Amino acid sequence: MRLVAATHNAGKAREIHALLDGHYTVVTAGELNLPEPAETETTFVGNAMLKARHAAQFSGEVALADDSGLSVAALDGAPGIFSARWGGPQKDFGSAMKKIEDRLEELGSADRAAWFTSALAVAWPDGPCVVVEGRIDGVVTFPPRGDRGFGYDPLFVPEGHDQTFGEMDPVLKESMSHRTRAFEKLKAALID
Ligand code: ITT
Protein backbone atom coordinates (compact mmCIF):
# COMPACT_ATOMS: atom_id res chain seq x y z
CA MET A 1 0.00 0.00 0.00
CA ARG A 2 1.16 3.54 -0.79
CA LEU A 3 1.39 6.14 1.97
CA VAL A 4 2.00 9.86 1.51
CA ALA A 5 4.47 11.20 4.07
CA ALA A 6 3.22 14.76 4.51
CA THR A 7 6.64 16.31 5.06
CA HIS A 8 9.04 18.57 3.20
CA ASN A 9 11.80 17.93 5.78
CA ALA A 10 14.52 15.63 4.39
CA GLY A 11 15.72 14.52 7.85
CA LYS A 12 12.22 13.45 8.90
CA ALA A 13 11.59 11.78 5.53
CA ARG A 14 14.77 9.71 6.00
CA GLU A 15 13.60 8.51 9.42
CA ILE A 16 10.05 7.79 8.18
CA HIS A 17 11.50 5.73 5.30
CA ALA A 18 13.70 3.80 7.77
CA LEU A 19 10.65 3.02 9.93
CA LEU A 20 8.14 2.16 7.17
CA ASP A 21 10.00 0.88 4.09
CA GLY A 22 9.16 -2.79 3.56
CA HIS A 23 5.67 -2.24 5.01
CA TYR A 24 4.48 0.67 2.84
CA THR A 25 5.56 2.40 -0.35
CA VAL A 26 6.36 5.82 1.06
CA VAL A 27 6.17 8.86 -1.19
CA THR A 28 6.74 12.32 0.28
CA ALA A 29 4.62 15.47 -0.12
CA GLY A 30 7.75 17.09 -1.56
CA GLU A 31 8.02 14.41 -4.26
CA LEU A 32 4.32 14.91 -5.11
CA ASN A 33 4.75 18.71 -5.13
CA LEU A 34 1.90 19.06 -2.65
CA PRO A 35 1.49 22.59 -1.24
CA GLU A 36 2.69 23.17 2.33
CA PRO A 37 -0.09 24.34 4.67
CA ALA A 38 0.50 27.08 7.26
CA GLU A 39 0.93 25.48 10.70
CA THR A 40 -1.73 27.54 12.45
CA GLU A 41 -2.56 25.23 15.37
CA THR A 42 -1.19 25.71 18.89
CA THR A 43 -0.14 22.12 19.67
CA PHE A 44 1.97 19.37 18.07
CA VAL A 45 -1.16 17.21 17.81
CA GLY A 46 -3.17 20.00 16.16
CA ASN A 47 -0.47 20.74 13.58
CA ALA A 48 0.09 17.03 12.80
CA MET A 49 -3.64 16.58 12.11
CA LEU A 50 -3.75 19.75 10.02
CA LYS A 51 -0.82 18.56 7.86
CA ALA A 52 -2.12 14.99 7.47
CA ARG A 53 -5.64 16.12 6.51
CA HIS A 54 -4.26 18.68 4.07
CA ALA A 55 -2.04 16.09 2.32
CA ALA A 56 -4.83 13.48 2.22
CA GLN A 57 -7.21 16.01 0.70
CA PHE A 58 -4.72 17.20 -1.95
CA SER A 59 -3.38 13.75 -2.89
CA GLY A 60 -6.58 11.69 -2.50
CA GLU A 61 -4.41 9.12 -0.65
CA VAL A 62 -3.80 8.08 2.95
CA ALA A 63 -1.34 10.56 4.46
CA LEU A 64 0.93 10.51 7.49
CA ALA A 65 2.22 13.73 9.07
CA ASP A 66 4.74 14.37 11.84
CA ASP A 67 4.79 17.56 13.87
CA SER A 68 7.73 17.63 16.20
CA GLY A 69 10.18 19.76 18.08
CA LEU A 70 12.56 20.30 20.95
CA SER A 71 11.29 21.76 24.25
CA VAL A 72 13.62 23.20 26.90
CA ALA A 73 12.22 23.15 30.44
CA ALA A 74 13.94 26.38 31.63
CA LEU A 75 12.57 28.18 28.54
CA ASP A 76 8.99 27.18 29.40
CA GLY A 77 9.03 24.57 26.63
CA ALA A 78 10.45 26.79 23.86
CA PRO A 79 11.12 26.44 21.01
CA GLY A 80 8.48 23.63 21.08
CA ILE A 81 5.99 23.92 18.23
CA PHE A 82 8.10 26.81 16.90
CA SER A 83 11.20 24.61 16.48
CA ALA A 84 11.20 24.82 12.66
CA ARG A 85 10.41 28.56 12.75
CA TRP A 86 13.41 29.26 15.04
CA GLY A 87 15.57 28.02 12.13
CA GLY A 88 14.13 30.81 9.93
CA PRO A 89 13.55 30.58 6.18
CA GLN A 90 17.20 29.48 5.74
CA LYS A 91 16.58 26.55 8.15
CA ASP A 92 19.65 27.68 10.07
CA PHE A 93 19.61 25.41 13.12
CA GLY A 94 23.14 26.53 14.07
CA SER A 95 21.61 29.93 14.91
CA ALA A 96 18.55 28.34 16.51
CA MET A 97 20.81 26.25 18.81
CA LYS A 98 22.85 29.36 19.67
CA LYS A 99 19.60 31.17 20.55
CA ILE A 100 18.76 28.42 23.05
CA GLU A 101 22.24 28.71 24.60
CA ASP A 102 22.00 32.53 24.79
CA ARG A 103 18.54 32.48 26.38
CA LEU A 104 19.69 30.00 29.05
CA GLU A 105 22.73 32.16 29.74
CA GLU A 106 20.59 35.32 30.01
CA LEU A 107 18.39 33.55 32.54
CA GLY A 108 21.44 32.29 34.43
CA SER A 109 19.74 28.91 34.49
CA ALA A 110 21.73 25.72 35.07
CA ASP A 111 18.65 23.60 34.30
CA ARG A 112 19.39 21.72 31.06
CA ALA A 113 16.33 19.43 31.04
CA ALA A 114 14.73 19.09 27.60
CA TRP A 115 12.61 16.75 25.57
CA PHE A 116 11.73 15.99 21.96
CA THR A 117 8.09 15.45 20.99
CA SER A 118 6.68 13.87 17.83
CA ALA A 119 2.97 13.91 17.06
CA LEU A 120 2.05 11.54 14.25
CA ALA A 121 -1.29 11.79 12.46
CA VAL A 122 -2.71 9.50 9.78
CA ALA A 123 -5.61 10.86 7.72
CA TRP A 124 -7.81 9.22 5.12
CA PRO A 125 -9.25 11.39 2.32
CA ASP A 126 -12.73 12.44 3.48
CA GLY A 127 -12.30 10.03 6.37
CA PRO A 128 -11.01 9.78 9.92
CA CYS A 129 -7.74 11.03 11.37
CA VAL A 130 -5.81 9.10 14.03
CA VAL A 131 -3.21 10.96 16.10
CA VAL A 132 -0.67 9.96 18.78
CA GLU A 133 2.31 11.57 20.54
CA GLY A 134 5.76 10.23 21.52
CA ARG A 135 8.38 11.87 23.73
CA ILE A 136 11.97 11.35 24.82
CA ASP A 137 13.56 13.15 27.77
CA GLY A 138 17.15 14.27 28.16
CA VAL A 139 19.30 17.40 28.41
CA VAL A 140 20.68 20.01 26.06
CA THR A 141 24.46 20.39 25.91
CA PHE A 142 26.72 23.13 24.54
CA PRO A 143 28.49 23.40 22.17
CA PRO A 144 26.45 21.25 19.75
CA ARG A 145 28.15 17.94 18.83
CA GLY A 146 27.88 15.61 15.81
CA ASP A 147 26.62 15.80 12.25
CA ARG A 148 24.82 12.48 11.83
CA GLY A 149 21.28 13.72 12.44
CA PHE A 150 19.32 16.85 11.56
CA GLY A 151 17.77 19.92 13.20
CA TYR A 152 18.50 20.09 16.93
CA ASP A 153 20.11 16.62 17.16
CA PRO A 154 23.63 17.98 17.97
CA LEU A 155 22.25 19.61 21.14
CA PHE A 156 20.29 16.76 22.67
CA VAL A 157 21.64 14.01 24.92
CA PRO A 158 18.93 11.44 25.77
CA GLU A 159 18.66 10.21 29.36
CA GLY A 160 21.10 7.38 30.12
CA HIS A 161 23.48 8.26 27.24
CA ASP A 162 26.60 10.38 26.73
CA GLN A 163 26.39 10.96 23.00
CA THR A 164 24.12 13.55 21.40
CA PHE A 165 21.57 12.40 18.82
CA GLY A 166 23.90 14.09 16.31
CA GLU A 167 26.81 11.82 17.29
CA MET A 168 24.84 8.59 17.58
CA ASP A 169 24.52 5.85 15.02
CA PRO A 170 21.10 6.61 13.45
CA VAL A 171 20.02 3.06 14.31
CA LEU A 172 20.61 3.81 18.01
CA LYS A 173 18.63 7.07 17.74
CA GLU A 174 15.84 5.13 16.02
CA SER A 175 15.75 2.58 18.86
CA MET A 176 14.63 5.23 21.35
CA SER A 177 13.49 8.40 19.57
CA HIS A 178 10.31 10.40 20.11
CA ARG A 179 9.34 9.49 16.52
CA THR A 180 9.82 5.75 17.09
CA ARG A 181 7.81 5.95 20.33
CA ALA A 182 5.02 7.72 18.46
CA PHE A 183 5.13 5.04 15.74
CA GLU A 184 4.74 2.32 18.37
CA LYS A 185 1.65 4.08 19.73
CA LEU A 186 0.32 4.57 16.20
CA LYS A 187 0.66 0.86 15.47
CA ALA A 188 -1.28 0.07 18.64
CA ALA A 189 -3.95 2.70 17.85
CA LEU A 190 -4.48 1.37 14.31
CA ILE A 191 -4.67 -2.26 15.39
CA ASP A 192 -7.06 -1.73 18.36
P1 ITT B 1 7.30 19.41 7.78
O2 ITT B 1 6.28 20.26 8.49
O3 ITT B 1 7.29 19.59 6.30
O4 ITT B 1 7.25 17.98 8.21
P5 ITT B 1 9.17 20.94 9.38
O6 ITT B 1 10.66 20.93 9.49
O7 ITT B 1 8.50 22.28 9.17
O8 ITT B 1 8.77 19.92 8.21
P9 ITT B 1 7.96 20.76 12.00
O10 ITT B 1 7.09 21.93 11.80
O11 ITT B 1 7.38 19.55 12.67
O12 ITT B 1 8.55 20.22 10.63
O13 ITT B 1 9.25 21.24 12.78
C14 ITT B 1 10.01 20.38 13.52
C15 ITT B 1 11.41 20.92 13.71
O16 ITT B 1 11.90 20.37 14.94
C17 ITT B 1 12.34 20.43 12.60
O18 ITT B 1 12.53 21.42 11.62
C19 ITT B 1 13.62 20.11 13.35
O20 ITT B 1 14.43 21.24 13.38
C21 ITT B 1 13.15 19.80 14.77
N22 ITT B 1 13.10 18.34 14.96
C23 ITT B 1 12.01 17.52 14.91
N24 ITT B 1 12.37 16.24 15.08
C25 ITT B 1 13.70 16.25 15.24
C26 ITT B 1 14.65 15.25 15.43
O27 ITT B 1 14.33 13.95 15.48
N28 ITT B 1 15.92 15.60 15.54
C29 ITT B 1 16.29 16.91 15.48
N30 ITT B 1 15.46 17.93 15.28
C31 ITT B 1 14.16 17.60 15.17
The whole-angstrom separation of Cα 53 and Cα 125 is 7
Q: Report which residue type is found at 43.
A: T
Domain ranges in the chain?
Answer: 2-191
pLDDT in tens, 29-70: 999 999 999 999 999 999 999 999 999 999 999 999 999 999
pLDDT tens per residue, range 107-139? 999 999 999 999 999 999 989 999 999 999 999
Peptide bond just before 170 cis, omega within 30 deg: no
CB of 12 closer than 6 angstroms to any ligand 1 atom: yes
Determine whether the annotation assigns residue 173 to a binding site.
yes
List pLDDT tens digits, range 2-35.
999 999 999 999 999 999 999 999 999 999 999 9
Instruction: Establish whether 54 is an annotated binding residue.
Output: no
102 tagged catalytic: no
Binned at pLDDT 50, 70 and 90, residue 192 comes out as: low
Task: State if pTM tops 0.80.
Answer: yes
Q: Whose CA is nearest to atom 16 of ligand 1?
A: 69
* Among the listed residues 74, 76, 66, the one whose alpha carbon sits nearest the alpha carbon of residue 151: 66
CA 132 / ligand 1 centre spacing (Å): 16
Annotated catalytic residue, options 67, 147, 162, 192: 67
156 lines ligand 1 (CB under 6 A): no
Kindly provide the ipTM of the predicted complex, given to two decimals: 0.98
Kindly give the distance from the C-alpha atom of residue 151 to the centroid of ligand 1, in angstroms, as a whole number: 7
Query: CATH classification of 2-191, choosing from 3.30.1490.20, 3.90.950.10, 3.40.640.10, 3.40.50.300?
Result: 3.90.950.10
